[in-house]
Structure 1
């Protein structure tokens, strides 16, 4: 199978080469006419010679030339205007016809164009005025737009949409800033309220403990409202209130409490309060009976007593 495919490909290539080359008869005819030359047969195009046919050019120019008035043509050929800067500086100015311009100098080249346009305007304005052609735009002149009104309306709508989007963006930015500021103020207010609440609770506790006897904190401290730090509530000059005095009488006041019932050398040697009869339970029964009061019988005993009656 491989050999057959290779033979087919070689046959096709040979056929293409035969078709591309000329036959023997055609080659003989070309040799007889002198078209074939010894060496490589390469077709070379001969260079065309430039012909300066002045008469033909003048004839062509006369064919399309039209004798139109200058107003229809508006063509001017003139030299550049006088260089005022060079004249003011006193530099020697070359003749306008033989003025040399450095084409590599951009500034000099552009100035030459500018002066030539200036000279053209100075020459054209008087001619236009002679022809009664206005050279100034009237006050109520409106140039015709290159684009249609529909296109301009679309542009106007897009500009309005863009402006509205920018306004919305600015409003959203301001709202975000206001929200941030509002959150900050809200946090400060909550902290202030918590601080006032804490101060109120501490003042109430101190009042309950008797460290203060006035309820001024319920009405609000004016100094605290103004932002001045208030002093700690002090003990009243008149002394503690009745509740504190009762607690001091009952539980004691101040001093050392831990280890207050420990014996000392003096308390150990002091036996003045010692009673032997009381300590050993040898008190007289009469004294005990005399010390007792009549005890009321119980409920069941009283019921039985009533039943006996």
Structure 2
């Protein structure tokens, strides 16, 4: 079983602190066995002050981090020298000195600052909450901070933006470890979207449509049920009862991308799921997902994840055994 240690620091945000236990705790094998064990610790094993009006009690101190396979650092509003000077406190320094080489490190939101102060982000692509990205870049000059994306996977170091992006990153890790079928079941159990691409924008600058404005949600739900059919922008607009211009504007307001980009992403996601869970030939998967030809599927999949369909299938079908 993959062991995960969650480091709760004073000032921790309760919502983000609970994400790892909720997401990883819901991951089960085909036989119903848990795939992860999740344990929360503090630096000294004592209760931790949260950003809310309550404290939390933990049963472990930071020596736990020496025995786990993945360390998760949720955000805190009381990082002190970490955020101000890019320097670890003595307690944090001792905690990170005990982490074994090769341990997977995950920073949620401003938890990324802790990884930076520990010297883990040099020459790496990372992200954090967009409001903190400039400070993170100034503190750790060799780090390549992307303030726009939801999360960044750089192999053994993964970072996310704020709040719900932590859910996206943890689901991504489940998918990377055990495939889309397991990740989709976790998402279903937690009643959250099963997939938001890490490269999706953190926030949408346009105002959200008012209550009187029509939503694109119904036409998006319909499109997901008809991905294998030819779907045109004009056809989607007609079904939504909007002009093409209005549909495009509201798509960008609600999901941060154009209808065409959203459709392509959903079709790639469907194709990835079928590559992982079926033995269908590539041409059949392409037809089922609305790409038309295997060549088109190969182009879109390579653009999205950088590999060909058969290489993707081989990788994700063998990944669970390697974890």
Larger radius of gyration: 1
Q: Which has the higher helix share?
A: 1
TM-score by length of 2: 0.14
| Structure with bigger RCO (C-alpha 8 Å, 6+ apart) | 2
Q: Which has the higher strand share?
A: 2
